[in-house]
Amino acid sequence: MDVSHQEATEKAREQQTTWYGEPLGALFRRLIADLGLNQARLAVVLGLSAPMLSQLMSGQRAKIGNPAVVQRVRSLQDLAGEVRAGRVSAAEATAAMDEIRRTAGGNVLNPNSSTPRSSPLGVPANPSKRVVREIQALLRAVADATEIQSASRLLADSHPELAEFLRIYGVARTREAIEHYESHQG
């Protein structure tokens, strides 16, 4: 691998860490291990081609362009956490992955969405977390963290509330965004 290709791959992995919290290769390998998948099955569940998944994992591509795929990744992360905690069996996880694949990511902001208001296991989902993750996915689908931070700084003086929204939902941790969302409800 030549130096420019290595630098491009490293930059892609850095961008992935900014956008998704870690390089996608590490994230996808953990999902594969936790959920008992192989790369081909993960690609099917996510709705990606096998070559696209491979490019994302290797850092040849930085960004998941489809917000529905980003939402499926987040749903699989939640499911993997349930499996690790022992709250979900292998059979339940398989059924849940099939449901995640069928829902096409959904849209919690749209009441006509195909995504259920509960998890695929029938356990009520945290509605605040679902809304926040959808907002994050939408923002991150149109701009990277650097662009969102820049926009937030540009708006800080003239529109501080909008600047705060961009900063919190665009680049802050999900936990902070959930706290912000819940504090502004009602």
Q: Are residues 70 and 150 in the same domain?
A: no
* Torsion 79-83-85-89 (CA) sign: positive
Residue range 59-71: average pLDDT? Answer: 88
75-113: pLDDT as tens digits: 999 999 899 888 888 888 888 898 888 875 444 443 344
Domain-located, residue 44? yes
Q: Are residues 29 and 113 in the same domain?
A: yes
Domain that holds residue 173: 143-186
Q: Are residues 102 and 21 in the same domain?
A: yes
At residue 124, φ and ψ (nearest 5 deg) are: -55, 130
pLDDT at 106: 46
Lowest-pLDDT range of 1-5, 9-13, 128-132, 153-157: 1-5
Q: Are residues 149 and 110 in the same domain?
A: no
Q: Are residues 99 and 48 in the same domain?
A: yes
CA atoms of 170 and 140, how far apart (whole Å): 7
CA 59 to chain CA mean position, Å: 17
pLDDT band at 51; cut points 50, 70, 90: very high
Domain-located, residue 25? yes
Query: Do the Cβ atoms of 82 and 107 come closer than 8 Å?
Result: no
Q: Are residues 33 and 106 in the same domain?
A: yes
Q: Are residues 120 and 56 in the same domain?
A: yes
Residue-level length of the chain = 186
Q: Where are the alpha helices (DSSP H) in the chain?
A: 3-20, 24-35, 39-46, 50-58, 67-84, 90-102, 127-142, 145-155, 160-170, 174-183
Q: Give the total number of structural domains in the chain.
A: 2
What Cα–Cα distance (Å) separates residue 121 from each residue in 32, 95, 97, 161, 165? 19, 8, 10, 37, 32
Long-range contacts (CB closer than 8 Å, 24 or more residues apart) made by 107-112: 107/134, 108/133, 108/134, 109/134, 109/135
Query: Do the Cβ atoms of 170 and 152 come closer than 8 Å?
Result: yes
pLDDT at 153: 95
CA atoms of 136 and 45, how far apart (whole Å): 21
Q: Are residues 109 and 177 in the same domain?
A: no
CA atoms of 62 and 146, how far apart (whole Å): 14
Query: Do the Cβ atoms of 107 and 134 come closer than 8 Å?
Result: yes
Q: Are residues 150 and 121 in the same domain?
A: no
What is the pTM for the complete model shown? 0.58
